[in-house]
Amino acid sequence: MILWRSVSNILSTIHFNSTANYILMDVGSLRKFYISTLCFTRTYDYSVVYPGPNLNMIVGANGTGKSSIVCAICLGLAGKTAILGRGDKVGLYVKRGCPKGFIEIELYKKSGNVVINREIHVENNQTLWMLNGRHCNQKTVEEEVKALRIQVSNLCQFLPQEKVGEFAKMSKIELLEATEKSVGPPEMYQYHCELKDFRNKERQLESAVKEKASFLEKAKQRNERNKHDVNRYYEKKRHMDVIELLEKKKPWVEYETTLKEHASVKKEREDAKNQLIALKQAQAPMLNKIQEIDNRLKPTEAQIKAKTVAIKEASLKCKQKQDQLDRKHKEIDDIKQTLRLKQMEEEDHQKRISNTRRTIEDLKAELAKVGDQPDVTPRINVVNIELRRIQEERAKIEGDKGDLRREKDNLFAESKMLERKLNDMNNMMNAKEEKLRGRHRDTYTALQWLRKNRHLFEGNVHEPMMLVINVKDHRFAKYVENHISFHDLRAFVFQRKDDMEKFMTEVRDKMNLKVNSISAPEESCSKRPPSRNIESLRRFGFFTYLREMFDAPDEVMSYLCHQYKVHDVPVGKEQTKAMIKTVIEEPYLRVFYTTDERYTVKRSFYSNKISTSNSAVHASQYLTITVDAEEKGQQEQKMKACAVQLQQIDEQMKALQKEAAVLDRRDNELLAEKKHLCELKGKKRQLEQKISTKQDSLRQMEQSAIDLTKIEEDTNVKIAAVNSQKVAIVSALMAQMKVWIKNLLMSAMIAVAFSKLPDTLDEIEAMLNEERSRAECFTSLSETVVDEYNRREQEIKHLEKELEAKTNALNTYRQNITEVAKERWLNPLKQLVEQINDKFSDFFRSMQCAGEVDLHSENEDEYDKYGIRIRVKFHSSTQLHELTAYHQSGGERSVSTMLYLMALQELNRCPFRVVDEINQGMDPINERRVFDIVVRTACKQTVSQYFFITPKLLQNLQYAEEMTILCVHNGAYMLPPNQWDEKAFIKRYTKRKSRQGSGGQK
């Protein structure tokens, strides 16, 4: 039954019908809606509701169907099922047993109301839409709803029961976006999105500029490094040019020198001719020889004067002659070197003969000193016996060591196997930790802190449940994980409350980490028996309770039994699903699982009728990784046992090693003694043998002596022959040099260059060696270094122009963005947030608390990092703290959420707001204060329509005439809404009161 009050242009009625489902809404406020056969209506087949234009207080006990209104509004306005959090498929919202459901919503519009119809089919989860009586698709409905500024996905406008806790979990950025959409001008959120896009483009420009600058800098650095190589290349080229000139001048100097020598020879020849005349008769043979030489020289000179060939041919021939001359020099050096080697060989030979003679004399002297020695054979026999005994003991020790090594190898292999098994188990735990770090890094950070500081706590402290819960069979993980909320799965569990407070002070207040913690019940509940033996439920296909599917520490299991009743939640098979209607009728079953669904069974307090809800069991993400704790403990014990045995073996090996070392020392002593005795016994024989051997060597060395005199004579003959050949080569070289120099002097430049070079062969050779040495220092250099350097210089100039252009474009872009951001978005946003802050602060001051709202951004230019920060203080002894899902209590979060929504209410940008059961968890004082604020704010004529849904109200609250209170009841004997007669009800009530006043029968 619903009491209502009709107001024009406002949501006026809600109908529940077993065959049709309708909701009507208004642009600025909800006008009228009908709903039928949705599963959240449970006991309703048909109903009608008429809300008011301002504050609508929808009151009713849990399970009566209050939230049906919220769900119908959301689904009828094309909202997603995820917004409601009650089921992922739209067909789940149709009442059980009905094939389809209907929703109709009427929205007020000055140009004519908008009527939306939605028909939901259970079998295939399909929807048929109608807009103003015409069939359409969902996108058309979404566009119409958006045009009317209705945002059912915005928690600042539409806050269903299951999402109340999500409001405090919204990030600052998410809260800003929701606020912009809810109360900001239509273009504000659009400008914000554009600015974020502009900022992304700006980052791209920044990245491009940075990349160009980096590339330019690297190019400059590379060229700076190559510049040194380029300079070295040119330096080497200068040396090579000097070398080339020196090599060209060297033949000229050699020619001049040879020419002078030739003149001297000619003078000597003239002198010889004069002497020849005088001695002609006495030295006729010599005269004939000179004549032959003279006859040979004259045609040569004539050929030299007549022959003019190209400088290249002359130079080549000069080089050939010079090479011949060099080879003759080398040949003489080789002959001399051979002589020196023979001389050194003979010198060494004589030294060895002398040394051998001295050695023979020393051995003979030592042999003479050796007299008759006592017989050492008995002592040698005793030593041999002792050595054999030591050898046997050492063999025994080696055998023992071998046995120990084999035993150690076996133990080591076993230890490695156990270590691998434990590593595999630990890797599984590490995998869980990696998932935790990826999903909730704050919890992972707190876990690392706990492991380092566990000594600070007196009682047991357990790591997050998802790490310490071990499912016995990975197939069961999905049931356990679906039954326990993720907030508790990542919660730390404490045996003592003071330990939990100490922990939260450290990680939450000091480290500012968002973590969950739980205090286990003071009296353990881990062994609490189920309400019914599992055997009594096997006929329904149930085979175990949730508690039996996993292991956990006692405090963790105690909490799960106390909070989640895991000891009393049975799990069934396909058989359970097949006979689900029979199972639901069982009186003691509240929550149970089939193979892939979770069922929740509720009984009406008024009519004892059963209502059920079911949801799919999602695959496990965290608990599928299982480790057998008992087996792990056994493996660790075996590891310790192996370690002890290995340590014992090592100690035994050390003892045997010490024994072996003692035997080794004794063995060495005996061997040294035996060696000495044997040496004494055979010393005379050895000396005689050595003397004989040395004498044989001496005879051989004396027979193999070298005749140095003959070798020296042969060497002089060879050198004289080579010198004769050199004279012929020098003569030919001089002839070629005349031709080469004649052509060379034709180049004026090469004559100038020669003038700067030394004029003697020694100086030229010295300078050549110096220039070659310098040139050889410049290794790995080529013309490609210079080409690369010049190419990169051009590239640097091009990059500098590009960088300048991009930098200018970036600066212009930044300036334009800053001007647009401040004028079109940031300044209006600051004004809007300031208005919200004024209202929010006033509301908190009226409750003797403190609260503020501000626009928060670490960097003014990072438009995607802007957010709204809510900070509150409920106690005078504390500081303002940011509103989060972890710092404040549930009641404090509800108060803060409600007052923020009320601060938005007066800005009146959205057509209506819905808040479902937000007062749950508030203490009576805060609940009363919040109620007063809601009434004062939502009952103003200038604000939008407001729906406040609650299962209870405090007594003696202050109400306003503008309020509409809708009381929702249900039961077996309720009058159908279409038969409700308000006038008859008031008439009966008046008559009944009059009878009571006159003492009549009640």
Q: Work out the burial of residue 881: count CB atoms within 10 Å of its CB; fewer than 13 is exposed, 13-18 middle, 19 or more buried.
A: middle
Helix H or strand E segment including 242? helix 186-279
The CA-based angle 995-996-1000, given to 5 degrees, is: 60
Per-residue pLDDT tens for 511-527?
A: 999 999 999 999 999 99
* 575 compared with 803, residue with greater pLDDT: 575
Q: What is the pLDDT of residue 910?
A: 72
Considering only the top CATH level, what class is 1-184+874-997? alpha beta
Q: What is the mean pLDDT of the chain?
A: 77
Q: Which residues of 558-592 are buried (b: 16+ CB within 10 A; e: fewer)?
A: bbbbbebbbbbbbbbeebbbeebeebbeeeebeeb
Kindly report, residue by residue over 746-770, the tens digit of the pLDDT.
444 457 566 667 777 777 777 777 7
598/618 Cα distance (integer angstroms): 10
Residue bearing the bigger pLDDT, 870 or 153: 870
Mean pLDDT value across residues 970-984: 72
Query: Sorting pLDDT into bands at 50, 70 and 90, what band is 279?
Result: low
The pLDDT confidence band at residue 162, using thresholds 50, 70 and 90, is low
Residue 743 pLDDT:
58
101 neighbors 19 (Cβ within 8 angstroms) = no
pLDDT computed for residue 649 by the predictor: 87
Instruction: Quote the pLDDT of residue 185.
Output: 75
Angle between helices 284-306 and 708-744 (to 10 degrees): 30
pLDDT of 775 over the 80 cut: no
Higher per-residue confidence, 462 vs 639: 462
Domain ranges of the chain: 1-184+874-997, 470-622
The region of weakest confidence among 301-310, 422-431, 480-489 is: 301-310
Top-ranked range on mean pLDDT: pick from 3-12, 121-130, 983-992:
121-130
Task: Determine the Cα–Cα distance for residues 585 and 592; give it in Å rounded to an integer.
Answer: 13
Q: What is residue 568's predicted lDDT score, i.e. its pLDDT?
A: 93
How many Cα atoms within 13 Å fall on the side-chain side of residue 543?
10
Q: Which of 208, 110, 314 is nearest to 737 (CA)?
A: 314
Residues whose CB is less than 8 angstroms from the CB of residue 913 and which lie 6 or more positions away in sequence, other chains included: 157, 158, 159, 901, 904, 905, 944, 945, 946, 947
So what's the pLDDT on residue 592? 93
Strand spans (E) along 21-156: 21-23, 30-36, 55-60, 100-107, 114-121, 126-131, 134-136
738 falls in which pLDDT band (50, 70, 90)? low
Single-letter code of the amino acid located at 576: T
Over 60: is that where the pLDDT of 26 sits?
Answer: no
Q: What does the pLDDT read at residue 28? A: 42
Mean pLDDT of 690-716: 79
Cα–Cα distances in Å, from 736 out to 265, 722, 760, 764, 933? 18, 21, 20, 20, 122
Query: Across residues 865-890, what is the average pLDDT?
Result: 82
pLDDT at 566 over 90: yes
Q: What are phi and psi of 789, to 5 degrees?
A: -60, -45
| Least confident stretch, 288-302, 371-385, 763-777 | 288-302
Mean pLDDT computed over 628-657:
81
Q: Is the dihedral of CA 573, 574, 576, 577 positive or negative?
A: positive
> How many other CB atoms are there within 10 angstroms of residue 434's CB atom?
12
| 441-463 pLDDT, tens digit each | 999 999 999 999 999 999 999 99
Q: What is the dihedral of CA 934, 935, 941, 945, to 10 degrees?
A: 60
And the tokens for 563? 């909070």
Could you report the per-residue pLDDT of 778-799, keeping only the tens digit for each? 665 666 767 777 777 787 788 7
Residue 553, pLDDT > 50, answer: yes
Query: Higher-confidence residue: 25 or 572?
Result: 572
Query: How far is the C-alpha of 117 from the C-alpha of 103, rounded, in Å?
Result: 6
Q: What is the pLDDT of residues 492-512, one digit of tens each?
A: 999 999 999 999 999 999 999
8-state DSSP, 59: E
pLDDT for 782 equals 65
- The span from the CA of 96 to the CA of 38, in Å, is 8
Residue that wins the pLDDT comparison between 713 and 198:
713
Q: Model confidence over 330-364: pLDDT tens digits? A: 777 788 788 777 778 777 778 888 888 888 888 77
**Structure-model confidence comparison of residues 198 and 470, the more confident one:** 470
Cα separation, 974 vs 159, in Å, equals 30
- Among candidates 446, 452, 479, 482, which has minimal Cα distance to 464? 446
pLDDT, residue 633, reads 67
Confidence of residue 544 (pLDDT cuts 50, 70, 90): very high
Length of the chain: 1002
Residue 585: left if φ>0, alpha if ψ -120 to 50, beta else—which one? alpha
Residue 838 is classified by DSSP as H
Higher-pLDDT residue of 120 and 284 is 120
Of the ranges 75-84, 370-379, 421-430, 443-452, the best mean pLDDT one: 443-452
State whether residue 621 is helix, strand or coil.
coil
Q: What pLDDT shows up at residue 335?
A: 80
pLDDT band at 429 (very low <50, low <70, confident <90, very high): low
Report the C-alpha gap between 695 and 35 in whole angstroms: 132
pLDDT of residue 745: 52
Q: pTM of the predicted model, to two decimals?
A: 0.41
What residue type is 1 in one-letter code? M
**Which two three-digit tokens encode residue 206?**
């920044």
Mean pLDDT computed over 183-187: 75
- Do 102 and 22 form a contact (C-beta atoms < 8 A)? yes
**Sign of the CA dihedral with 410 first, then 413, 419, and 421 last:** negative
Q: What are the CA-CA distances from residue 637 to residues 24, 26, 415, 416, 429 (Å)? A: 71, 72, 11, 14, 19
For residue 741, name the pLDDT band (cuts at 50, 70, 90). low
Q: d(Cα 730, Cα 736) in Å, to the nearest integer?
A: 10
Structure-block tokens of residue 93: 């919202």
Higher local confidence (pLDDT), 404 or 751: 404
pLDDT of residue 997 exceeding 60: yes
Pick the range with the lowest mean pLDDT from 207-216, 365-374, 450-459, 590-599.
365-374
Question: 251 versus 977: which is more confidently predicted?
Answer: 251
Q: Indicate if the pLDDT at residue 744 is higher than 70.
A: no
Q: How confident is the model at residue 219 (pLDDT cuts 50, 70, 90)?
A: confident
- Side-chain-side CA neighbours of residue 547 (13 Å): 23
Helix (H, G, I), strand (E, B), or coil: what is residue 779? coil
Residues forming a β-bridge with 615? 598
* Portion of the chain with pLDDT greater than 90, in percent: 12
